[in-house]
Amino acid sequence: MSGVRTISTAFEEACMNSRALHFSHHFKRANGLRFHYVECGPHDAPAIVLLAGFPQSWFAWRHVMAHLARSFRVVAIDLPGQGDTDKPLSGYDTQTVAHRVHDLVVELDLGEYCLAAHDVGAWVAFPYAHLFETQIRALALLDSGIPGVTLPASLPSSSDHSWKTWHFSFHALPDLPEILLEGRERPYLEWFFREKSADPACHDTTALDEYLRIFTAPGAMRAGLAYYRALALSADQNRRLTEGHRLALPVLGLGADQGSIKDMGGSLAPFCSNAHAETIASCGHFQPEEQPEAVADALQRFFYPSVA
């Protein structure tokens, strides 16, 4: 745990100097699974829950949190298998993960909350919203195709498009990714952050070191790939959830002009009765780190427009 404390403490000090902001790290067991999550902002303020994607953790939201914490209680959760949360051997279909995350949220006793999720985090947030819709004020999904819903069953093979999605099939293979990636984790992660960002400079050495730390932790690669290996099951679950049912709560599809899905709102509209769309400019796939102020502003305007 020394790595995360060193990095997090350095970031805390920078934030505290500029905004008197404090990030607090917590571990809590929920239904037998130990979660790691990070909080900031007033404890009695309206709550916003954040979920990150592959190959990241709560750390992806750090700059967004710095903006939101002025007015909100912000809780960024490491998903099962992600960051410093436990890495169970099974249960990476997104409906199981949604139930597990909800177990933690119940323990946190947040009251009504908003939920924002990116990439694989959005895979989890979509069934989560279907299962626990009455508890959520509003939902925001960032730059992600949802399995069985907006993610095509057949991914593109042409070179001008496949660079965005080739890893789905690769990660789903048994054993081969681990064989090829062991000892080469850093250049693999660097490829994602370089190729999928509009400006790769948003991922500095500190960020790369932290993502390498969590990706090379015991069981971490297996767990990260498990979300892709469970993709077909997650897609079947989502198709069943959406049969004859559209989400009624407000849903923001937050796209990026250089990301994976520019019109997130349009892609989600057939599955939501109250869908909204916004696109972040000058931004690739990793919106919370590339354009954190724009993301925070979009979330605040959508979730709590009356909060100054």
Residue 160 has pLDDT above 80, yes or no: no
For the chain, percent of residues with pLDDT exceeding 90: 85
Residues in the chain: 308
Contact between 99 and 131 under an 8 Å Cβ cutoff? The reply is yes
pLDDT for res 308 = 55
Contact between 148 and 234 under an 8 Å Cβ cutoff? The reply is yes
Q: How confident is the model at residue 306 (pLDDT cuts 50, 70, 90)?
A: confident
What is 22-66 written as a DSSP string?
Answer: --EEEEEEETTEEEEEEEES-TTSPEEEEE--TT--GGGGHHHHH
Return the ∠ at Cα 260 (arms to 259 and 266), rounded to 5°. Answer: 100
- Between CA 286 and CA 55 the distance in angstroms is 11
Q: What is the pLDDT of residues 63-122, one digit of tens each?
A: 999 999 999 999 999 999 999 999 999 999 999 999 999 999 999 999 999 999 999 999
Residue 117, both tokens = 């999720």
Structural element, H or E, at residue 76: strand 73-77
Residue 165 has pLDDT above 70, yes or no: yes
In our burial notation (b when 16+ CB lie closer than 10 A, e otherwise), range 51-79 reads bbbbbbbbbbbbbbbbbbbbbbbbbbbbb
| Number of C-beta neighbours around residue 39 at 10 A | 20
* Mean pLDDT for the stretch of residues 169-190: 96
Q: What is the pLDDT of residues 237-285, one digit of tens each?
A: 999 999 999 999 999 999 999 998 888 999 999 999 999 999 999 999 9
Q: How confident is the model at residue 159 (pLDDT cuts 50, 70, 90)?
A: low
Tokens 């599809």 sit on residue: 253
